[in-house]
Structure 1
Amino acid sequence: MSIEGYGVATLKNFVGRELGVSNWVIVDQARIDAFAECTGDKQWIHVDVERATRESPYGGTIAHGYLTLSLLATLAIEVGLIPADARAGLNYGLDKVRFMAPVKAGARVRSRVVLLEVEEKQGGRIIVKTANELQVEGEDKPALVAETLAMLIA
């Protein structure tokens, strides 16, 4: 998405403003299984559908917290966090992360992104901090809230 008037030179004008809300993304069992395979986290509550259906308090499998966290970067890019006139945007870190509610297999999630801070560094680097709320379709409570940092290269 493109945010009208949003660019490297105007970043500070957007502090405190919502940059946007991403499209919905499905967190299906295939995605959960792929994440488990690549991270080695094969805890039954994520990958054993039959057992999770029987024993989990959620009635089935749930996504890894870190899987849901990993979606934030892509969803922020989709919203338009990296201005079109920036040469690059890189993950820089996290300040705060709280996992608030599980994401059940098959759920759809989206991210709401608010620009919190802009800090200019030497060499055309800019650190931007955003508040991210990963919402689960049909749920009142977000799956997670996080303050993320990105480094923009002007």
Structure 2
Amino acid sequence: MSINEYSMATLDGFVGRELGVSDWVVVDQARIDAFADCTGDKQWIHVDVERASRESPYGGTIAHGYLTLSLLAALGIEIGMIPADAAAGLNYGLDKVRFVAPVKAGSRVRGRMVLLEIERKSGGRVILKVANELQIEGEDKPALIAETLVMVIAREVGTVEKTEAAA
């Protein structure tokens, strides 16, 4: 998806605005198990369905916090957080992350993103600070809130510098 009139040159005009809300994504047991296999985090509350249904305070397995955090990148791409005229968008860091509520296996989540700040750098690079909320369908509390930093790189370096000079 692309955001109307959102580009490397117009980023300043989007500061403080919602970039969008993604479609719902299912966080099913297969996804949780695959994440556990990739990371080696096979804690029972994530992967042992029988034990979690007996012993977990959530009535079953839950997603890893870092699994839910990792979904933000793909949801941001879906929303169009990376301007279409950027050559690349890279994870740059996190300023704040709070895991607010567990994501039970089988739940659907979606991302809501607001552009908080931009910081123009040399070489056609811009750091985006984005407020993220990963919402859980049917729940009052989000799964997480996070401020992510994304470096976007212009296809043509002169485009971003020319915009800076004009400002």
Per the normalisation by structure 1, the TM-score is: 0.99
Structure 1 equivalent of residue 165 of structure 2: none
What displacement does 1:129 show?
Answer: 0.5
Structure 1 equivalent of residue 106 of structure 2: 106
Give the aligned residue type for 1:85: D
Q: Percent identity?
A: 81
Structure 1 equivalent of residue 159 of structure 2: none
- What SS does the corresponding residue of 2:71 show, helix, strand or coil? helix
Q: Distance in 2 between matches of 1:5 and 1:134?
A: 25
1:55 and 2:55 correspond:
yes
Q: Distance in 2 between matches of 1:148 and 1:49?
A: 32
Runs of 4 or more, structure 1, over 4 Å off, are none
Aligned residues: 154
- What SS does the corresponding residue of 1:122 show, helix, strand or coil? coil
Q: Distance in 1 between matches of 2:3 and 2:70?
A: 23
Q: Distance in 2 between matches of 1:120 and 1:144?
A: 28
- What SS does the corresponding residue of 1:26 show, helix, strand or coil? strand
Equivalent runs, 1:22-101 vs 2, <5 Å: 22-101=22-101
Per the normalisation by structure 2, the TM-score is: 0.92
Give the aligned residue type for 1:71: L
- What SS does the corresponding residue of 1:5 show, helix, strand or coil? coil
Give the aligned residue type for 2:145: V
- State the Cα deviation string for residues 101-153 of structure 1 (Å, max 9, x = none): 00000000000000000100011110000000000000000000000000000
Give the aligned residue type for 2:104: K
Q: Distance in 2 between matches of 1:21 and 1:46?
A: 27
Give the aligned residue type for 1:98: R
Greater Cα radius of gyration, structure 1 or 2: 2
Q: Distance in 1 between matches of 2:120 and 2:32?
A: 37
Q: Gapped runs of 5+ residues in structure 1?
A: none
What displacement does 1:2 show?
Answer: 1.1
Give the aligned residue type for 2:123: G
Give the aligned residue type for 1:145: I
